[in-house]
Amino acid sequence: MTSKFSLALKLLSLSLLLTSAQALEVNIKQGLPYVDVDINGESVRIQRIQDTSHKLKNSYTRTSRPAPPFSIQPFEPIKGIETVSELDVIDFISNEVSDNTGLLMDARMPKWYNEGTIPGAINIPFSMLSSSNNNPFVAQIFEIFGAVNKNGKWDFSEAQTLLVFDNGPWCQQGVRAMKNLLQQGYPKSKIKYYRGGMQYWQILGLTTIKPQG
């Protein structure tokens, strides 16, 4: 309840910032036409496609894929990890990502990520966080997230909150990433899950970018 209220307040303050902005036909929500975010020192605008007759033409128009492996994910696939909406993702980008206290994590394999992602997202393929022995990447990634290794034990008190997403409710990459993170000790309180993923993000006509380099 409190978090919903604070989200509403944050979105209201964002919308007040944008009162002078030009009116759009398709807003993110009433009073919030767009949000500008910092991507590699450049400003990128997140808004919805303004053409009201626009339809998707890419692979996110597909309704069916063989399941398994592309089974429908539960609303809360891991108990204790909050599932969030598009508005929460936008709020997260505007606040936590902007303050460097949070990281928007695209858990898909790079092939997918390079086709297009949510502005502000960083690609960390779920398999990179695998808990197998000899995985040299986890420790390096955790340090980059701000966790501190004290005598072999991870201290996550200063670590970033991770908002994880993948292709959408039929994709298991995000859930696997979260399971891998938990297996390695990352606290549930510092993980959020955007179940809608790229499919819902694009169905709503929200801005995507092709990562550079």
Partner 1 sequence: MIKKPLQLLMIVPLLSTSLFALSDKELAISINLSGKQRMLTQKMTKESFLIHDNINKQENITKLKESSQLFDKTLKGLIQGDDDLKLVKVDDPKIQAQLKKVQALWEPFYKEINNVINQKATPKSYQLLEEQNLPLLQEMNQAVALYTQQSKNNSKLTLANDINLAGKQRMLTQKMGKDLLFIHNKIKTATYQKDFKDSRVLFSETLDGLFDGSEKLNLKGTKLPKIRKQLTVVKSMWQAEQPILDKALKDQDIQKAIEGLDKILIEMNQASTLYTKSINRQKQRLKLSSLIHNFMNKSKILKKRINLSGKQRMLTQKMTKLALMIDAGINTKESKAQLKETAQLFEKTLNGFKSGDQDLGCIPSKDPQIQAQIAKIEKEWQQFNQHIQRIVEGKDGDGSSLEYLIKHNESLLQASNELVKRYEASNKSQNYLDKARLHIVNIAGRQRMLTQKMTKEKLLIAKGKSEYNDKLEKSIKLFDASLNALIKGDPQQNIVKPTNKEMKQQLQVVLKLWHELKPLYEKKEINKQDLATIIQKNPLLLKEMNKAVQISEKSIEY
Which region among 1-9, 75-83, 123-131, 187-195 touches partner 1 (by CB under 8 A)? 123-131
C-beta neighbour count of 116 within 10 angstroms: 17
Q: Is 152 in the site for partner 1 (CB under 8 A)?
A: no
Q: Is 115 in the site for partner 1 (CB under 8 A)?
A: yes
Nearer to partner 1, 16 or 85 (CB): 16
Q: Is 134 in the site for partner 1 (CB under 8 A)?
A: yes
Which residues, 1 to 30, sit near partner 1 by CB under 8 A? none
Which region among 4-12, 24-32, 34-42, 79-87 touches partner 1 (by CB under 8 A)? 34-42
* From candidates 4, 79, 111, 150, binder to partner 1 by CB under 8 A: 111
Q: Is 144 in the site for partner 1 (CB under 8 A)?
A: yes
Which region among 24-32, 106-114, 187-195, 199-207 touches partner 1 (by CB under 8 A)? 106-114
Residues making up the chain, counted from first to last: 213
Q: Is 157 in the site for partner 1 (CB under 8 A)?
A: no
Residues interacting with partner 1, by CB under 8 A?
Answer: 36, 38, 40-43, 59, 65-66, 68-69, 97-100, 103, 109-112, 115, 122-128, 130-135, 137, 140-141, 144, 172, 176, 180, 213
